[in-house]
């Protein structure tokens, strides 16, 4: 019955206007003036807005206003902005009613080309064209001009009155073949660049355009030229066939364009054509039909004003409409639909506060409201049927709808005044109240279970209605018998196993009713007497649903709870985990098993794969951020419906929050100690310019409220900081090098690329690199000087130490020598005493013997006397020789020992002296040998002293040569010198005694060798005698290998 009425009554209404939620920007948001005639987005992402009183640059966070000022060259040419374009070199061209301004986007410097009496070309710049070749062409009320970059001036082109339909140029466009199309106040012109021809189109021509008053031109994706006019709507010109389609206002056609005054046109990224008209914003929905969006003064999210001058699409696909009183923006790709109440449209909801949503078998949408009854919506033809209390056709027991469910042709509606059973076929409504056995009329929840029973939850308990017998069974007493004190039943749910789950609202807790074993069990009941928050309890359950894995998801006033039925374990999620709000109203599970949750602050999706919440708010197209209980439903097609305090939203979850768009961060400006910079990358600042404010924004204007930035300043901090602000301030930075890094995360969770800027704060002069180098040099000099001084001192100390060491060595050697000398002296004097005493003792003993014999009776004979006297003489001679040696040694030490030098035959002296000793030597059993290779050799010498030397050497050799040994005396002629050697086969002399053997008092005597007497002066005297002859004497000997003394004497 209801379906038939829908089809018959509204068969023609197949192009219903979708509700668009506009976000509006007005003077309250910083616009310099309300009337917006041009909007443009530059290459950095800024939105430039031209008004009748100033140019505005917008970044989603703040508005910067540019105005013309007298005597200030760096301001724009005029405040009435007519057109805006950016060339390929990064210059923004701003056309005004009094000239054109060129703004360098890098440093915002401005060059103006103004109108004056000599430059009428700069008057009313309605249009700016940047050609595919990068040329700048402007259209003015005085003709067409081309910018000559070399002369930095504009040159007139096509300036003849008959060349164009008019010199009042309104708009300029270029087609894909680089032909230029020029709209004027008197028609259309095509400049064929290739063939150098001009074609004119006029309303006076047959089958041509419908009006010469053209406001704008636009090429669509098929290269059709759309022409907006000032008095006859839209013309679509096929530039290949010159066929024209005209779309004009028709008051009898609600799908015609709403006004013949059309200002601007745009084809968006999805191919939709949008028209700015005098009576709203229209889009071409196909077949020459248009849907129009108007201002509704009771709806703050409607078009801000019906007079639309310009329309623009930004880089993210968002549409900007400039109107008489501001700007309206919206996302045409937004997949979130909205159903609202419109007092001027009967085909709208009866109220915006939604309670209860259900889609029946025929696809009709049943929508309940708080106090304006029930709406049945046929979404195919946009028909609305209203059920309400007192309606003669569709009378309900209350206009306050709480919950709706149904099956087949029966719809069950819970209200504040009982249950309504609606038969769709007969349109009979049966009502159930306390009069028929309900425990309460205030219905909070209903469940039509798999067995056909209707479970009814109220603040006063639980009822079950047998839908076949209409019998009502009260279950409250059963709950009480199981110690369940909270009978405020807010939610009832049957899971896939046929188990019933009941959520209580006051004391909370979850009730499990198992119909198979008739058991009742409670979980996580709230203790009302406890003053402390109990994390193990569930308070105020509003919704329960089951996912594909059999887990229950429970919506409470304290967050979202997941209940594992197998382990009977709970996991709670709150705003600390990413939920936008802890008050949960509805839960729907998408086809991937992810829960979608309606809250007091938007809708949230919980992605189970990454364990992360993604949130939607009113800026994403939701009716508002606040939703209501029991106003959620998943249709058979997978569509989600959520109702709130300002309408109903519907969407397919797989089309939401899946955008691949990544936000782009742009640095707005940098403020360093009050000075503004457009870029500081690579710059260095003084040490006291160390407080920096950095401003930034992203080009995703539709979701700025939900953007999160994360940044860090390398060189100052290690951790990332998260913020929703578009600026950051760093104060009193130390000198050093810094890199500011920042990323943005959009509403859909996509992370932008890293943006960065590096700068340096120089140290003060006394801490600068030069100063540090100077300090380093000075320190190095000091270190060098100190090191040099230390090295010098070390060297000096080392030298002195070495000298002292050497001196100590010498002193030690001298001391040892002195000790040795003293020891030798002692030995010498001991030996000398012995040498003196021996002959004296012999003489004394012989004298005593002679005396005693003389006194004896026998007397002494002559022979004996002679013998004794001979002994005495020999010992006296020995004693005299010893004394002479002592005297001679003393003379030698005093330098008073003299020799007598004469020419002598050295061979003779040596031979005679040696032969004189032969008998005595050989008497000891020692063989004495004389050897010479020369018979005569004259040498200047002292004969006596040389003889003395030979005697000393031979006598000395005989003392240390054992019996059967030999002594050899050799003479050799060496020319100017003569060599005399005495060599024995005796015990030898250790090499360590060679240097001291000629020293006075020194006697080389082995302790194991028998000493045969001697004073130890012989070698000392011999050495001095040879020295006095300017000769040499040296010893060659090894222990146990004999000894050889060699004398070298000069001939003269």
What are the residue ranges spanned by the domains of the chain? 665-767, 898-1050
d(CA 186, CA 168): 8
What's the pLDDT score for residue 873? 77
**Percent helix, strand and coil across the chain, each to the nearest 5:** 20, 40, 40
Element (H, E) at 313: strand 308-313
Q: Which residues contact 116 (CB under 8 A, 6 or more apart)?
A: 122
The pTM of this model reads 0.69
| Residue 459 CB neighbours (<10 A) | 15
Structure token digits, residue 75: 């301001």
DSSP string, 875-930: HHHHHHHHHHHHHHHHHHHHT------EEEEHHHHHHHHHHHHHHHHHTTT-EEEE
What's the pLDDT score for residue 730? 96
Tell me: pLDDT of 3 over 50: no
Structure token digits, residue 311: 């329309």
966-973 and 927-932: which strand pairing? parallel
Averaged over 467-490, what is the pLDDT?
91
Read off the pLDDT of residues 140-191 as tens digits, 9 standing for 90 and up: 998 999 999 999 999 999 987 789 999 999 999 999 999 999 999 999 999 9
What's the pLDDT score for residue 842? 65
Contact 315, 41 (CB under 8 A): yes
Structure token digits, residue 822: 């003293």
Tell me: pLDDT of 592 over 70: yes
Averaged over 819-825, what is the pLDDT?
67
Contact 981, 1047 (CB under 8 A): yes
What's the pLDDT score for residue 4? 37
Tell me the C-alpha to C-alpha distance, in Å, between residue 824 and each of 88, 999, 1000, 1012.
Answer: 114, 9, 8, 17
What CATH number belongs to 665-767?
Answer: 2.60.40.10
Element (H, E) at 939: strand 938-941
In CATH, what class is 898-1050?
alpha beta
Tell me: pLDDT of 354 over 80: yes
Read off the pLDDT of residues 947-982 as tens digits, 9 standing for 90 and up: 989 988 998 899 889 999 999 999 999 999 999 999
Tell me: pLDDT of 637 over 50: yes
d(CA 128, CA 110): 17
HSE of 934 in the Cβ direction (CA atoms, 13 Å)?
Answer: 20
Read off the pLDDT of residues 996-1018 as tens digits, 9 standing for 90 and up: 788 765 565 554 444 444 556 78
What's the pLDDT score for residue 1004? 57
Structure confidence at residue 13 as a pLDDT band (50, 70, 90): very low
Higher pLDDT among residues 850 and 734, named by residue? 734
Tell me: pLDDT of 825 over 90: no
Strand order in the sheet with 489-494: 489-494, 500-504, 510-514, 519-523
DSSP string, 708-742: EEEEEEETT-SS-EEES-SEEEE-SPPSEEEEEEE
Tell me: pLDDT of 760 over 70: yes
Looking at the chain, the whole-number percentage of residues with pLDDT higher than 70 is 91
Read off the pLDDT of residues 205-238 as tens digits, 9 standing for 90 and up: 999 999 999 999 999 999 999 999 999 999 999 9
Averaged over 925-951, what is the pLDDT?
91
The torsion region of residue 157 among left (phi > 0), alpha (psi -120 to 50) and beta comes to beta
What's the pLDDT score for residue 10? 36
d(CA 926, CA 930): 13
Q: Which residues contact 85 (CB under 8 A, 6 or more apart)?
A: 40, 92, 93, 128, 129, 130
Among 459, 445, 374, residue whose Cα is nearest residue 414: 445
Alpha-carbon dihedral sign for residues 859, 863, 869, 875: negative
Higher pLDDT among residues 427 and 859, named by residue? 427
Looking at the chain, the whole-number percentage of residues with pLDDT higher than 90 is 64
d(CA 224, CA 228): 13
Tell me the C-alpha to C-alpha distance, in Å, between residue 502 and each of 411, 458, 484, 564, 567.
Answer: 22, 12, 11, 16, 19
Higher pLDDT among residues 944 and 589, named by residue? 589
Averaged over 520-532, what is the pLDDT?
66
456, 544, 399, 19: CA torsion to nearest 10: -150
What's the pLDDT score for residue 1015? 55
Read off the pLDDT of residues 97-122 as tens digits, 9 standing for 90 and up: 999 999 999 888 999 998 765 655 66
Alpha-carbon dihedral sign for residues 395, 397, 402, 403: negative
Degrees, nearest 5: CA angle 872-874-880 = 100
816: buried, middle or exposed (CB in 10 Å: 19+, 13-18, 0-12)?
Answer: exposed
Tell me the C-alpha to C-alpha distance, in Å, between residue 453 and each of 410, 472, 649.
Answer: 13, 10, 30
Strand order in the sheet with 410-415: 401-407, 410-415, 418-423, 429-432
Averaged over 329-342, what is the pLDDT?
91
HSE of 972 in the Cβ direction (CA atoms, 13 Å)?
Answer: 9
Q: Which residues contact 546 (CB under 8 A, 6 or more apart)?
A: 493, 495, 496, 552, 553, 589
Read off the pLDDT of residues 81-92 as tens digits, 9 standing for 90 and up: 999 999 999 999
* Phi, psi (degrees; rounded to nearest 5) at 825: -60, -50
136-140 and 125-130: which strand pairing? antiparallel
Tell me the C-alpha to C-alpha distance, in Å, between residue 262 and each of 92, 235, 327, 790.
Answer: 26, 10, 17, 95
* Phi, psi (degrees; rounded to nearest 5) at 576: -70, -25
What's the pLDDT score for residue 788? 81
Tell me: pLDDT of 352 over 90: yes
HSE of 544 in the Cβ direction (CA atoms, 13 Å)?
Answer: 31
d(CA 866, CA 873): 10
Structure token digits, residue 778: 């000075």
What's the pLDDT score for residue 12? 33
Structure confidence at residue 826 as a pLDDT band (50, 70, 90): low
Structure confidence at residue 5 as a pLDDT band (50, 70, 90): very low
Degrees, nearest 5: CA angle 574-575-576 = 85
DSSP string, 467-485: TTT--EEE-HHHHHHTT--
What's the pLDDT score for residue 600? 96
Element (H, E) at 952: helix 943-959
Structure confidence at residue 831 as a pLDDT band (50, 70, 90): low
Q: Which residue has the tokens 């708009």?
A: 171
State the average pLDDT for the chain: 88
Tell me: pLDDT of 832 over 70: no
Tell me: pLDDT of 8 over 50: no
Structure confidence at residue 201 as a pLDDT band (50, 70, 90): very high
Contact 63, 50 (CB under 8 A): no
Read off the pLDDT of residues 258-269 as tens digits, 9 standing for 90 and up: 999 999 999 999
What's the pLDDT score for residue 121? 61
Furthest-apart CA pair in the chain: how many Å? 203
Tell me: pLDDT of 14 over 50: no
């Amino acid at each position: 019955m209801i379906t038939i009425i829908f089809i018959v009554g509204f068969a023609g209404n197949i192009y219903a206007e979708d509700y668009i939620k506009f976000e509006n920007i007005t003077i309250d948001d910083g616009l310099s003036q309300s009337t917006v005639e041009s909007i443009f987005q530059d290459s950095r992402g800024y939105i430039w807005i031209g008004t009748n009183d100033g140019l505005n640059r917008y970044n989603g966070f703040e508005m910067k206003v540019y105005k013309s000022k007298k005597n200030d060259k760096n301001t724009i040419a005029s405040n009435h902005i007519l057109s805006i374009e950016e060339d390929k070199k990064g210059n923004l061209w701003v056309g005004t009613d009094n000239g054109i301004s060129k703004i360098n986007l890098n440093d915002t410097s401005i060059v103006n080309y103004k109108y004056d009496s000599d430059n009428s070309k700069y008057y009313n710049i309605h249009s700016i064209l940047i050609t595919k070749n990068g040329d700048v062409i402007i259209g003015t009320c005085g003709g067409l001009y081309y910018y000559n970059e070399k002369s930095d001036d504009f040159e007139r082109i096509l300036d003849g009155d008959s060349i164009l339909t008019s010199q009042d140029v309104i708009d300029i466009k270029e087609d894909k073949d680089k032909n230029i199309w020029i709209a004027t106040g008197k028609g259309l012109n095509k400049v064929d660049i290739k063939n150098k021809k001009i074609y004119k189109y006029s309303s006076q021509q047959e089958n041509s355009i419908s009006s010469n008053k053209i406001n704008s031109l636009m090429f669509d994706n098929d290269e059709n030229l759309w022409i907006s006019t000032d008095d006859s709507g839209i013309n679509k010109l096929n530039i290949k066939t010159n066929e024209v389609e005209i779309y004009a206002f028709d008051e009898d056609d609600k799908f015609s364009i709403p006004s013949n005054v059309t200002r601007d046109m745009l084809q968006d990224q999805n191919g939709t054509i949008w028209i700015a008209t005098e009576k709203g914003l229209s889009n071409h929905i196909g077949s020459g039909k248009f849907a129009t969006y108007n201002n509704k003064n009771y709806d703050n999210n409607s078009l801000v004003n019906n007079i639309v001058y310009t329309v623009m699409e930004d880089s993210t696909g968002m549409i900007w409409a400039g109107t008489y009183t501001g700007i309206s923006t919206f996302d045409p790709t937004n997949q979130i639909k909205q159903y609202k109440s419109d007092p001027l449209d009967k085909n709208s909801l009866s109220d915006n506060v939604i309670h209860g949503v259900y889609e029946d078998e025929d696809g009709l949408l049943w929508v309940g409201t708080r106090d304006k009854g029930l709406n049945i919506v046929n979404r195919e033809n946009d028909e609305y049927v209203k059920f309400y209390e007192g309606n003669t056709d569709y009378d309900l027991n209350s206009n306050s709808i709480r919950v709706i469910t149904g099956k087949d042709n029966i719809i069950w509606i819970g209200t504040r005044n009982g249950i309504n059973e609606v038969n769709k076929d007969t349109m009979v409504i049966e009502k159930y109240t306390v009069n028929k056995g309900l425990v309460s009329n205030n219905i909070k929840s209903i469940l039509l279970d798999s067995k056909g029973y209707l479970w009814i939850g109220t603040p006063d308990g639980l009822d079950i209605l047998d839908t076949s017998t209409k019998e009502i069974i009260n279950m409250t007493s059963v709950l009480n018998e199981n110690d369940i004190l909270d009978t405020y039943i807010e939610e009832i749910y049957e899971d896939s196993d046929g188990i019933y789950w009941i959520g209580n609202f006051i004391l909370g807790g979850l009730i499990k009713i198992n119909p198979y074993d008739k058991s009742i069990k409670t979980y996580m009941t709230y203790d009302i007497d406890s003053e402390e928050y109990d994390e193990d309890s569930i308070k105020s359950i509003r919704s329960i649903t089951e996912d594909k894995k059999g887990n229950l998801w429970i919506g409470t006033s304290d967050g979202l709870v997941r209940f594992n039925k197998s382990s009977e374990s709970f996991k709670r999620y709150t705003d600390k985990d990413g939920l936008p709000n802890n008050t949960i109203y509805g839960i729907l599970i998408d086809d991937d098993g992810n829960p979608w949750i309606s809250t007091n602050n938007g809708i949230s999706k919980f992605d189970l794969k990454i364990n992360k919440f993604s949130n939607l708010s009113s800026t994403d197209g939701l009716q508002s951020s606040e939703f209501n209980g029991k106003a959620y439903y998943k249709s058979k097609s997978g569509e989600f419906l959520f109702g709130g305090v300002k309408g109903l939203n519907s969407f397919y979850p797989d089309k939401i929050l899946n955008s691949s768009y990544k936000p782009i961060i742009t640095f707005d400006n940098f403020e360093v100690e009050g000075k503004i910079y457009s870029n500081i990358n690579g710059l260095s600042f003084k040490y006291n310019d160390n407080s920096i404010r950095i401003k930034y924004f992203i080009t995703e204007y539709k979701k700025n409220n939900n953007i999160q930035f994360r940044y860090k300043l390398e060189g100052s901090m290690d951790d990332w900081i998260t913020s929703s602000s578009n600026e950051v301030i760093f104060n009193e930075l130390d000198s050093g090098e810094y890199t500011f890094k920042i990323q943005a995360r959009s509403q859909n969770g996509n992370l932008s690329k890293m943006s960065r800027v590096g700068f340096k704060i120089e140290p003060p002069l006394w801490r600068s690199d030069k100063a540090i180098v100077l300090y380093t040099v000075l320190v190095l000099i000091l270190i060098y000087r100190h090191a040099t001084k230390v090295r010098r001192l070390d060297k000096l100390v080392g030298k002195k130490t070495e000298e002292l060491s050497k001196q100590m060595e010498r002193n030690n050697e001298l001391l040892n020598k002195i000790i040795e000398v003293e020891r030798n002296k002692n030995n010498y004097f001991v030996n000398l005493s012995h040498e003196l005493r021996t002959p004296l003792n012999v003489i004394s003993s012989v004298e005593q013997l002679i005396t005693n014999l003389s006194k004896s009776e026998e007397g002494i004979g002559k022979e004996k006397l002679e013998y004794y006297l001979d002994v005495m003489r020999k010992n006296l001679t020995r004693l005299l020789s010893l004394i002479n040696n002592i005297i001679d040694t003393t003379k030698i030490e005093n330098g008073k020992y003299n020799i007598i030098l004469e020419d002598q035959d050295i061979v003779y002296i040596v031979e005679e002296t040696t032969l004189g000793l032969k008998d005595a030597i050989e008497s000891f059993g020692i063989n004495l040998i004389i050897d010479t290779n020369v018979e005569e050799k004259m040498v200047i010498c002292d004969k006596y002293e040389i003889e003395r030397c030979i005697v000393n050497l031979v006598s000395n050799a005989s003392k240390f040569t054992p019996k059967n040994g030999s002594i050899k005396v050799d003479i050799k002629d060496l020319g100017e010198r003569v060599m005399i050697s005495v060599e024995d086969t005796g015990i030898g002399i250790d090499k360590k005694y060679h240097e001291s053997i000629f020293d006075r008092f020194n006697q080389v005597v082995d302790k194991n060798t028998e000493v045969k007497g001697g004073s130890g002066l012989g070698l000392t005297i011999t050495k001095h005698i040879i020295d006095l002859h300017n000769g040499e004497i040296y010893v060659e000997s090894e222990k146990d290998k004999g000894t050889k003394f060699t004398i070298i004497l000069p001939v003269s």
